[in-house]
Amino acid sequence: MKLGLYGGAFNPIHRCHLLVAETARTRLGLDSVLFIPTGGPSHKPPSDFIPAKHRLEMVRLAIAPYPSFQLSDIETRREVKSYTIDTVRTLKETCPPDTHLVFIIGLDAFLDLPSWKEPERLLESCDFAVVSRAGFQFKSLETLLILGVLDTAKLASLDAGQLAQHAFLLKSGRTLWALAIPPCKVSSEEVRRRLKAK
């Protein structure tokens, strides 16, 4: 089974999150996408962070029309700070042995990978589907030395809209799928701002 892991605050979830998940599912032939809301705030002010139980329920309602989407509370159940590498390890232990994990993430968040817990080990644990984000270029991936050498021409073609996707082989032996999608102008921050204005 090919399982997509889609982690994030989902603070709150919106249509762009669903677009990213469905794009990754269809383009990469994923059997299912597991939405994994984070526990507490990381880089966000606590006052702007919707309680976990409400974010979980909003995700549950949002993904209900999609048979291939599932919800996990693996991170919101943890009483200590949750790290992606710990989540991936746990899922690898609990999923069937033939499960192929693909971590779905926006390009902006992926560029912060070197600051994550055990980034090299994470790159050895699963494949990645890195999705384009407005204001960020795939060429920036060249700055992440832990990835290894990437094809500069392919990165430029992705940024120029000449390629919709490309698979890069990482030095970890895993695959990074770069997925270019049309810009989506909705953000969780904008949704929260509009709700406060009402």
Reported as a single tens digit per residue, the pLDDT across 2-59 is: 999 999 999 999 999 999 999 999 999 999 999 999 986 554 555 678 899 999 999 9
Q: If 0-12 CB within 10 Å is exposed, 13-18 middle and 19+ buried, where does residue 17 land?
A: buried
Q: What is the pTM of this model?
A: 0.92
Reported as a single tens digit per residue, the pLDDT across 59-116 is: 999 999 999 999 999 999 998 888 999 999 999 999 999 999 999 999 999 999 999 9
CB 16 within 8 A of CB 99: no
β-partners of residue 103 are 5, 128
- Going along the chain from its start, the domains and CATH numbers come out as 2-197 (3.40.50.620)
In this prediction, residue 80 carries a pLDDT of 84
Separation CA 70–CA 60 (nearest Å) = 8
Neighbouring residues of 64: CB distance < 8 A, sequence distance ≥ 6: none
Sheet holding 69-71, edge to edge: 69-71, 32-37, 2-8, 100-106, 127-131, 175-179, 165-169
Cα-Cα end-to-end distance for the chain: 44
Separation CA 198–CA 194 (nearest Å) = 7
